[in-house]
Amino acid sequence: MIELKNIFPEIFLMLSLLFLLVAGVFLKNSFSLIKKITIILLLICIPLVYVNYDNQILIFNNNYSINNFSNLLKIIILISSAFSLIFTGQYLKRLKIEKFEYMILILCSTLGMFVMVSTNNLIGLYLGIELQSLSLYVLSSIDRNSLKSSESGVKYFVLGALSSGLFLYGCSLIYGFTGSTNYLIINENFTVENIGLIFGLVFVIVGLAFKVSAVPFHMWTPDVYEGSPTAVTAFFALAPKVAGMGAFIQILFVAFGGAFAEWKTIIIFISVASMILGSVAAIGQTNIKRLMAYSSIGHMGYGLAGLATGSLSGISATLSYIFIYVVMNIAAFTSILFFSRDKKYCEDIRDLGGLSKNHPVVAVCFCIILFSLAGIPPLAGFFAKFYIFKSVIESEMYILAVIGLLSSVISAFYYLRIIKIMYFDTEQEKFDDISGVGMKFSLFSSSFLILFYFINPSFLVNITEIASKVFN
């Protein structure tokens, strides 16, 4: 009973999912109602997680952990999922994909992410990944009238299946050489001489790198981001990245904490490659969703740079980065959903010409968001990168810090190009007036947080430092 009490948020999500599934089947035209209920249930789940916040326990025979780290990530995941529904309702109605199954899939995916960040077992991690991924396969192809959406669903499914296969192969190697799939036992049985175990770790890292779209396992990201409905793309860019990074931290620091020298080089390579490709490849993009895809790849590179330090300050910096990344992407994708003419959504960057004259408030908010994504002080994005660079320099990894800084400078170019188009290019037709309360709330609240984060930056740092002490 004690164990069930500690996983009450997971049970709550599962029961909510089943209740809404039954309600959706029996109630006709229930999209708006179920969407509102889903948002409320996701927000209710946040205090349920917070109740267990200071608990540091292992349950189910040490296979499931409830601690500050997992609870913090669960709260960020719930915020991401809730906001992805708050600002996308109007978009889904316009595209006539207002299906109650959309919310069920979001909840199902969120439940999978909960398992990913809390599990202490490779099999549990695989189940969490698949519960999340299967929902995302369906979501990416949910717009049946769009060929691009169907194509993106197939691409994500095929490459996702490949990554799952590689991940399972890694798990089988680890199990074969340690006799267990439990992180704690794996850590106890690790020896440098065991080459098979190292190979297993490499395959597991490859599988997780697919999920966070880190280079060189990013190939699905631009196509899936562009082809999926923008509401789905927004969800892709938010919660799954949090869960993937959480799984990365758990694997590296709990299961293979003693193998830092072995996985350090791999993580540095993936981090550097992601930062460079994310900044360089985005320069030539004209589609704003593809640009956000490469931006996401670059940001994951910065997050992994914190992990490459192998220190608690690095974990804390990565957690801070992930939270700020989520806030920035909520704001960015809300802005993208503002850009529609005659009920058709504009994805070409050139369509933003003269935005400052036609929609000055939206232009200012989008400008703040882009400056923050570029890491311009004193916005939240600057502090996110500052925490990462600080932890990297403290670990005396100066080359990694220099590469990260140069990548940040390069990425600033394509963000500033969008600002130039908005303020100085030929004025285009006005966008449709958007009356959605959810969109306005998401845009203004996230922009406000980005703009005024500098007032009390230590608040987030203190929370992430407490969470990172779990791995001490």
* Average pLDDT rounded to a whole number, residues 440-454: 91
Sign of CA pseudo-dihedral 211, 215, 221, 223: negative
Q: Comparing 433 with 66, which gets the higher pLDDT?
A: 66
pLDDT band (50, 70, 90) for residue 3: low
Q: What is the mean pLDDT of the chain?
A: 89
354 conformational bin, left if phi > 0, alpha if psi -120 to 50, beta if neither: left
CA–CA distance, 130 with 125 (Å, rounded to integer): 9
pLDDT tens across 313-328, in order? 999 999 999 999 999 9
Q: What DSSP designation does 7 have? A: T
pLDDT at 56: 81
pLDDT at 110: 94
b/e 212-251 (16+ beta carbons within 10 angstroms → b): bbbbebbebbbbbbbbbbbbbbbbbbbbbbbbbbbbbbbb
pLDDT tens across 402-429, in order? 999 999 999 988 898 899 988 888 777 8
* Average pLDDT rounded to a whole number, residues 177-183: 90
**Residue 1 pLDDT more than 60?**
no
pLDDT tens across 363-403, in order? 899 999 999 999 898 999 999 999 999 999 999 899 999 99
For the ranges 41-50, 95-104, 220-229, the lowest mean pLDDT is seen at 95-104
Question: Which residue ranges make up each domain of the chain?
Answer: 2-471
pTM for this entry: 0.94
Sign of CA pseudo-dihedral 107, 110, 112, 115: negative
Percentage of the residues of the chain whose pLDDT score is greater than 90: 53
* Average pLDDT rounded to a whole number, residues 87-106: 85
pLDDT at 2: 56
Query: Residue 45: CB partners within 8 Å, gap ≥ 6?
Result: 9, 12, 13, 78
Query: Residue 151: CB partners within 8 Å, gap ≥ 6?
Result: 223, 227
